[in-house]
Amino acid sequence: MKERENQGDIAPSSGSEQNRDVPVCGDDDGLVIKESKDSRLFSQISSDHSYQVFFENMNEGAVILSYDNRILYGNRSFFDLIGEPSKGAIGKSILNFIKEVDRSYFIDCIMKKKKKKSELVVSSKKKGDFTVFASAFEGVWDKSEALCLLLTDITELKRAQSFIETSESVARVLSGVSNLEVASKSIINLLQSHLGWEVMIIWLWNQERQQLQCFEIAHIQEMDISAFEAATRAMEIKAKQAFSHVCLSDRPVWIKDVTEEYGFIRRNEAIHDGLRGALAFPFNQNDRFGGVVELFRRLPFEEKVDNQMLEFISAIGIALGRYIQRLFNDQTSQEIVRTFTLARNSYFTTNKEGVILNWSSGAERIYGWTAKEMVGSPAYKLSPDKKSGKPSLIIEKLFSGQAIEHVESQRLRKDGMLIWVKSSYARTYDFFGNLSGLIAVEEEITNEKELLDRLLLCEVKFNSFIEITGDWIWELDAEANILFSNIKGYTILGYRSDEIVGRNLFDFILFEEKEKIKKQFEDFVEKKEGWRNLLIIFVHKNGSNRCLENNAKALFSINGELLGFRGASRDITESKNLEKIKNEFVSIMSHELRTPLTSICGALSLLINREMSPERREQLMAIANKNSTRLANLINDITDIEKLKLGKIKFDFKKINLRDVVLEAVLTARVIANKTEIKIMTVDPLPLIEVNGDYWRLLQVMNNLLSNAVKFSPSQGSVIVLMEIVGSMGRVSVKDFGPGIPKDFQTKIFQSFAQADSSAKRAAEGTGLGLYISKYIIDEHGGAIQFETQEGKGTTFSIDIPLLPDLKQEKGI
Amino acid sequence: MGKELKKILYVDDEEDIHVIVRFCLEELPNLELRSVYSGEEAIKTAIEFQPDLILLDVMMPNMDGISTFQALKLMPSFAHVPIVFLTAKAQKNEIEEYFKYGAIDVILKPFDTNTFTQNVQSIWRRYQQQRV
């Protein structure tokens, strides 16, 4: 750099030396340079002197000055430099052609101190100011001491130097500052001082959104560009169109004055903020378009854009591109590192090949592998089946655009234990939007899995209990709407669960019961309590009534609000019926026992306590006797039934002749029948029918049938006994001509205490157990008992017993 | 003093018990006892006999005691005639039912022949008092 020592004095020096006689040199003046021991000597030489030729052919401007600054000689290049013809310049002070600020420096340092080399700014009438490099030589001109100056135009060199210096400064700033805002401010200050740019806008290319986004705006301190800045920031979406020429051509574009450029989108704001000159150039990241830098200034942009300028712009672009990439990477990695450190979950990243690049402390905790062990290892190290290469499948899927989130899988821990993890994967991109690998976020769920398994097991158990139980299990809300119903709802009420759930409980309750139960339900809701053993009659889908015994528990929310009820209903219709039957049985049994006992007790008591005639005494004794027998028979029958029911009666099956049984029974019956003059007749000849049977039990059946027939026959009536073979059965029929069996009684005839059913009608004396026992005995023989009856005309009972096989053969059956 | 018990209609299908009851009630010389063996017979006889009191068995073939009771109560001339059930159907709920129908009392079988007559008379007297 040139030194400026006396900037104040810029007027041409008018010292005594200026008055010395200096011959005027013309075009044809010659220049002689004589070499002395220490210096070169100039002398006026003829125009054909070889030195003149030498000077005239020099590219540098050569000028010989007297020590009072006068121009004694100048070559062609010199006059070209100063933009003056030689005639006008010879004899003039050189100071006229030196920029004012450099004049005193020129006098003090070059003329007086004989400084050999220096930079000067020359003012040319044609070219304006420009910098020259001056070399000074002392010598003799026309016998007087003179100074020879060789001047080289270094404007271009200076410009190039400025570009280089600016680039270097920018690079220095960028290498030392990690904050883009601070860096941008420093850069714009550099650009301003070197190149006059006052506003810098950095646009970044968003690969995903395919648009440019304003990333940073910097300007020199004394400016206010708020309007322009706002317009710029609002421009993000349209930015691509605005820079399409930059993006597409990959070349800088410039506008001399944006205020005169009607196509410039931010023209109004530029006018408002006084911006005029504009330059925009792209920058790359990893050889791809990375963004655009815009520069603005208040002066129009009039510089020539040559290779130097382009190179400079390119250098700035490269530096910025690298800086932003580094900055972004730094920020991303800082964020990732922070997240990694903080997170409880496992984080790891891999490259495209599935090699782990980052390994968080969470991952270390879950897997037991340290970052040192894992970074650089393939991710499939974590897979229980290492051959499956699952991570690469994941990468494949991810890269094909599929989302992989909350995937549950088993993984291998360092200690060989299998663990469950829930993983989500995301693609990672480099700064330029290229897929670079994946990031995996994993949460260990081994405990949750186990809990869930246990819970599922519990649920399965619970569900099986619910399904196995014979009870209808349900859940109601506080309005008795059914929220849940198990499968037994179908068994008990005939409705499927989906037909029950959503309906109201009262829809299924017997109409006559509804009002009563509703009141009770409202009471339970009010008291917020469940119920126990509440009997409700429901209506089955088929219309039948079902008696259900209900138990329920109230359900509450966390705040104690009544949510509804959960409970179970047991179908006790059958047991209710059984209870009714049992009660009736007890009632009838009691009656049947009390009735003969009344006669016995009464008769005996009278016999003991009263005076009476012998006839009467006899009558009472007969009564007591007869009823004692009746009571004994009854007790025998009851005992028989008990034995039958308990399976205690053992049948003695053997080959017997059914005719023997019939004959013995007829003989016995005739004894009783004779009293009422009833005839028992057999249809002879009675066939010989051999069966496998218990003789005494079959005799019991025959006795019962015959005694019934006698009992219901009118006096002097008759009973007919018939034996025949019907199919593979031997049949015995007993026919009477009694009143017949009333229709409503026919279905109950083989039930216990059939005579004395709940309607309290007695057909005739008897225990009412005979036919019940008979049916049981015949069933045990594999046979059948049936009857035909006609009211007022009589009844025929018949029993069928299977024939013995050889008899069947004889009969050709 | 109320009206003297003079006529009893006894309805029961058990002939042996008729014998016992008749024997017992012979203690009352002024009493006329009419025995019938079915509900249908009871209704016919009641019209002609005009009893002061009816002793009614429950378990009888065809028309049982309850049906007979209801039929008698439906006849205006018998609505006021007191009926006592004399029955071996003596479960607690059954007895409650007899009273519900309107029986003035129930005598259970087997009964004590020594106190039977007194028992019938005191039922009659209590009934008389209640009517007053």
CA atoms lying within 13 Å on the CB side of residue B31: 23
Check B91 against A603: CB less than 8 A apart: no
Q: Round the average pLDDT of chain A to a whole number and report it.
A: 81
The confidence band for B20, taking pLDDT boundaries of 50, 70 and 90, is very high
Is-contact A282 A238, C-beta < 8 A?
no
Amino acid A236: pLDDT? 61
Amino acid A13: pLDDT? 38
Residues of A in contact with B65 (CB under 8 A): 760
Alpha-carbon distance B132 to nearest alpha carbon in chain A (angstroms)? 34
Q: Any CB–CB contact under 8 A between A778 and chain B? A: no
H or E element that contains A123: strand A117-124
More confident residue, A149 or A534: A534
H or E element that contains A461: helix A446-468
Separation between Cα atoms, residue A605 and residue B78, nearest integer Å: 34
Amino acid A11: pLDDT? 35
Is-contact A104 A13, C-beta < 8 A?
no
Separation between Cα atoms, residue A124 and residue A146, nearest integer Å: 24
Check B23 against A583: CB less than 8 A apart: no
Separation between Cα atoms, residue A158 and residue B57, nearest integer Å: 146
Separation between Cα atoms, residue A784 and residue A804, nearest integer Å: 16
Q: β-pairing, A61-66 with A144-153?
A: antiparallel
Phi, psi of A107 (to 5 degrees): -65, -50
> Which of A600, A609, A619 has the CB atom closest to B19's CB atom?
A619
SS3 A667: helix
Check B23 against A610: CB less than 8 A apart: yes
The pLDDT of residue A163 is above 60:
yes
Check B16 against A605: CB less than 8 A apart: no
Q: Which residues of A167-203 are buried (b: 16+ CB within 10 A; e: fewer)?
A: bebbbebbeebeebeebbbbbbbbbbebbebbbbbbb
Q: Identify the burial level of A45 via C-beta atoms within 10 angstroms of its C-beta, where 0-12 means exposed, 13-18 middle and 19 or more buried.
A: middle
Residues of A in contact with B96 (CB under 8 A): none
Amino acid A432: pLDDT? 45
Strands of the sheet containing A562-571, edge to edge, are: A482-485, A472-477, A562-571, A545-556, A531-539
Residues of A in contact with B64 (CB under 8 A): 759-761
Separation between Cα atoms, residue A640 and residue A773, nearest integer Å: 8
Is-contact A174 A165, C-beta < 8 A?
no
Q: Tell which of A582, A591, A608 to mutate to test the B interface (max B CBs under 10 Å).
A: A591
Chain B residue closest in CA terms to A584: B91
> Which of A598, A603, A619 has the CB atom closest to B88's CB atom?
A598
- Residues in B lying within 8 Å of A, measured between beta carbons: 13-14, 16-17, 19-21, 23-24, 58-62, 64-66, 87-91, 94, 108-114
Mean pLDDT over A735-741 rounds to 90
Check B111 against A602: CB less than 8 A apart: yes
> Which of A626, A760, A764 has the CB atom closest to B59's CB atom?
A760
User: Quick one: tokens of A436?
Assistant: 């670079």
> Which of A587, A599, A610 has the CB atom closest to B17's CB atom?
A599
Q: What is the 3-state secondary structure (H, E, C) of A322-372?
A: HHHHHHHHHHHHHHHHHHHHHCCCEEEEEECCCEEEEECHHHHHHHCCCHH
Alpha-carbon distance B24 to nearest alpha carbon in chain A (angstroms)? 8
Q: Any CB–CB contact under 8 A between A616 and chain B? A: yes
Check B94 against A587: CB less than 8 A apart: yes
**Size (chain B), residues:** 132
The confidence band for A199, taking pLDDT boundaries of 50, 70 and 90, is very high
Nearest Cα to A797, choosing from A735, A718, A727?
A: A735
Amino acid A204: pLDDT? 82
Nearest Cα to A392, choosing from A432, A440, A324?
A: A440
Q: Identify the burial level of A436 via C-beta atoms within 10 angstroms of its C-beta, where 0-12 means exposed, 13-18 middle and 19 or more buried.
A: middle
Q: Any CB–CB contact under 8 A between A606 and chain B? A: yes
Check A619 against B58: CB less than 8 A apart: no
> Which has the minimum average pLDDT: A26-40, A114-128, A520-534, A633-647?
A26-40
The interface predicted TM-score of the complex, written ipTM, equals 0.94
Q: Identify the burial level of A583 via C-beta atoms within 10 angstroms of its C-beta, where 0-12 means exposed, 13-18 middle and 19 or more buried.
A: middle
Is-contact A156 A163, C-beta < 8 A?
no
Amino acid B95: pLDDT? 92
Chain A residue closest in CA terms to B12: A595
DSSP string across A237-279: GGHHHHTHHHHHH-S-EEES-GGG-TT-TTHHHHHHHT--EEE
The residues, any chain, with a CB within 8 Å of residue A473's CB and separated by 6 or more, are A466, A484, A485, A486, A488, A566, A567, A568
Alpha-carbon distance A796 to nearest alpha carbon in chain B (angstroms)? 21
C-alpha distances in Å from residue B93, one per residue of A424, B89, B98: 75, 10, 9
DSSP string across A273-318: HT--EEEEEEEEETTEEEEEEEEEESS-------HHHHHHHHHHHH
- Tracing tokens 């910098």 back to the chain, one arrives at A131
Amino acid B67: pLDDT? 92
Mean pLDDT over A531-557 rounds to 93
More confident residue, A113 or B80: B80
- Percentage of residues in chain A having pLDDT higher than 90: 26
The pLDDT of residue A62 is above 50:
yes
The pLDDT of residue A307 is above 50:
yes
Q: Any CB–CB contact under 8 A between A496 and chain B? A: no
Q: Any CB–CB contact under 8 A between A767 and chain B? A: no
Q: Any CB–CB contact under 8 A between A601 and chain B? A: yes
Residues of A in contact with B60 (CB under 8 A): 760-762
> Which has the minimum average pLDDT: A61-75, A489-503, B85-99?
A61-75
Amino acid identity for residue B104 in this structure: I
Alpha-carbon distance A743 to nearest alpha carbon in chain B (angstroms)? 12
> Could you say which DSSP state residue A14 is in?
-
Amino acid A806: pLDDT? 64
More confident residue, A583 or A532: A532
Mean pLDDT over A648-676 rounds to 88
Mean pLDDT over A161-183 rounds to 81
pTM value is 0.47
Chain B residue closest in CA terms to A598: B110
Check B110 against A602: CB less than 8 A apart: yes
Separation between Cα atoms, residue A497 and residue A388, nearest integer Å: 45
The conformational region for residue A729 under phi > 0 = left, psi -120 to 50 = alpha, else beta, is beta
- Cα–Cα–Cα angle for A423, A426, A428, rounded to 5 degrees: 140
Alpha-carbon Rg for chain A, nearest whole angstrom, is 65
Residues of B in contact with A766 (CB under 8 A): none
DSSP string across A687-714: P--EEEE-HHHHHHHHHHHHHHHHHHSP
Separation between Cα atoms, residue A347 and residue A341, nearest integer Å: 9
Separation between Cα atoms, residue A31 and residue A25, nearest integer Å: 10
Separation between Cα atoms, residue A525 and residue A520, nearest integer Å: 9
> Which has the minimum average pLDDT: A185-199, A340-354, A720-734, B71-85?
A340-354
Amino acid A761: pLDDT? 39
Chain B residue closest in CA terms to A764: B61
Check B62 against A760: CB less than 8 A apart: no
Q: Any CB–CB contact under 8 A between A594 and chain B? A: yes
> Which of B61, B66, B88 has the CB atom closest to A594's CB atom?
B88
Q: Write out pLDDT tens, residues A338-386.
A: 666 666 788 888 888 888 888 888 888 889 999 899 988 888 888 887 6
Q: Any CB–CB contact under 8 A between A609 and chain B? A: yes
Residues of B in contact with A601 (CB under 8 A): 110, 113
Separation between Cα atoms, residue A449 and residue A453, nearest integer Å: 6
Chain B residue closest in CA terms to A760: B59
Separation between Cα atoms, residue B132 and residue B130, nearest integer Å: 5
Within a 10 A sphere around the Cβ of A161, how many other Cβ atoms? 11
Q: Write out pLDDT tens, residues A176-185.
A: 777 778 888 8
Q: Any CB–CB contact under 8 A between A189 and chain B? A: no
Check A598 against B89: CB less than 8 A apart: no
Residues of A in contact with B108 (CB under 8 A): 594
Check A764 against B61: CB less than 8 A apart: yes
Check A602 against B60: CB less than 8 A apart: no
CA A779 to chain centre: 67
Amino acid A29: pLDDT? 42
The residues, any chain, with a CB within 8 Å of residue B17's CB and separated by 6 or more, are A595, A598, A599, A602, B57, B109
Residues of B in contact with A600 (CB under 8 A): 110
Check A626 against B16: CB less than 8 A apart: yes
- What is the rounded end-to-end Cα distance, in angstroms, of chain A? 144
More confident residue, A606 or A588: A606
Chain A residue closest in CA terms to B112: A602
> Could you say which DSSP state residue A651 is in?
P
User: Quick one: tokens of A83?
Assistant: 């933009």
Residues of A in contact with B111 (CB under 8 A): 598, 602
Q: β-pairing, A562-571 with A472-477?
A: antiparallel
The pLDDT of residue A21 is above 70:
no
The pLDDT of residue A26 is above 80:
no
Separation between Cα atoms, residue A177 and residue A189, nearest integer Å: 14
Check A756 against B59: CB less than 8 A apart: yes
Check B88 against A605: CB less than 8 A apart: no
> Which has the minimum average pLDDT: A16-20, A259-263, A463-467, A803-807?
A16-20
| Angle of the A155-176 helix axis to the A180-195 helix axis, nearest 10 | 170
Q: Any CB–CB contact under 8 A between A591 and chain B? A: yes
Separation between Cα atoms, residue A362 and residue A378, nearest integer Å: 18
Check B59 against A597: CB less than 8 A apart: no
Q: Any CB–CB contact under 8 A between A764 and chain B? A: yes
Bond preceding residue A384 cis, omega within 30 of 0 = no
